[in-house]
Amino acid sequence: MANLTRNPSTVAPFPSDAVIQVEKVCKAFQSPGRENLDALIDIELSIHAGEFITVVGPSGCGKSTLLRLIAGFSPCSSGRIVFQGEEVRGLNTKVGYVPQESKLFPWLTVEENVGFGLDSKQYSRADRERQVSQFIHLAGLAGFEKYYPAQLSGGMSKRASIVRALVYEPPVILMDEPFGPLDAQTRMVLQDELLKIWEKKRQTIIFVTHDLVEAVALADQVVVMTHRPGKIRDVVQVPMSRPRNIFEIHRQDGFDEAYGHLWNIFRHELSIGAH
């Protein structure tokens, strides 16, 4: 299914069921020396509903910038992003965003944080409570509803931060290295939980990471980005079946193939960087 178009020269007709189409997007930042610093160049992506996409690349390659553009936090310098048939202008309130740090609102309890995105106009009080408690259970945070974020461990705040973005069921969730600062075990547990939740809800997820194993383990497709200025180097299909066992991901069919492919690309990138 879903292919990611990345050849800017061909004006490929995009499949109509794409949720997000990134069309020739460039992003430049003003550096202090008044020079324009290119963060992203000619990004072309087409992402379909229900896909789990991971984006890998060396740090500073513009992965996070791409997410911020899709969320509408800042405008594209050129090109455009089409979200469900409409160009993104200003904040894109149809996406959920999980930032690098948990960024739970420290003055709200876990319950209030998770329910934050549930608009009181769209959800009745009862619906709201049901939804919140369902997702709190899903995240394994039952019993911690009245806790403040400062009272939670790193892994717990991460979970809360993720379900806060899931709870109002936006069609697309953007995740910016959400498991970065966690220890290896917690990380695996959370990856496992994320996959389980995703398999139930099947929202589209774009997940930025710099960890190749994580990228392969979670994704249907891995988007590989080059060092600054960020370009899309390749898109790797991950042929592993689902549901996956995160804890023994190395033994699953298709892992080695995808990982090897990815590593080859990266090795090439690294040797270019060294020269």
Partner 1 sequence: MSDPTIQAPSRPTRPKNAVRPSKHAVISMGAMGVNLARVAIIGGFLLLWEIASGRWIEPFLVSSPSRIFFSLISGYRDGDLLQHTWVTFQEIAIGFPIGAISGIALGYAFGRSRLLAEIFEPIIIGLNGIPRTALAPLFIVWLGIGLWSKVGVVFLLTFFLNFFNTYTGMRQMDQEYVDLANLMGVKGWKLTLKVILPAISPYVFTGIRTSIPFAVIGAIVGEFVAATEGVGFFIRMSAGIFKTADVFVGIIVLMIMVIIMDRIAELIERRALRWQSQTEHIQIQA
Q: Supply the minimum distance, in Å, between the C-beta of residue 119 and partner 1.
A: 6
Which of 172, 217 has the CB closer to partner 1? 172
State how far Cα 225 lies from the chain centre. 14
Which of 66, 232 has the CB closer to partner 1? 66
Q: Supply the minimum distance, in Å, between the C-beta of residue 181 and partner 1.
A: 15
Contact footprint for partner 1 (CB under 8 A): 71-73, 91-93, 95-97, 99, 103, 105-108, 116-117, 119, 148-153, 156, 168
User: Coil, strand, or helix at residue 188?
Assistant: helix
Which of 96, 230 has the CB closer to partner 1? 96
- What is the CB neighbour count within 10 angstroms for residue 223? 25
State how far Cα 101 lies from the chain centre. 14
Q: Supply the minimum distance, in Å, between the C-beta of residue 240 and partner 1.
A: 32
Q: Taking each helix axis from N to C terminus, what angle separates 154-166 and 184-201, rounded to the nearest 10 degrees?
A: 20
Which of 62, 149 has the CB closer to partner 1? 149
Which of 110, 215 has the CB closer to partner 1? 110
Place of tokens 């896909």: 51
User: Coil, strand, or helix at residue 53?
Assistant: strand
Q: How many residues does the chain have?
A: 275
- In sequence order, what DSSP letters do the residues of 113-128 get, joined into one string? HHTTTS-TTTS-HHHH
End-to-end CA distance of the chain: 38
Q: Supply the minimum distance, in Å, between the C-beta of residue 99 and partner 1.
A: 6
Distance (Å, rounded) from C-alpha 167 to C-alpha 158? 14
Q: Supply the minimum distance, in Å, between the C-beta of residue 63 and partner 1.
A: 17
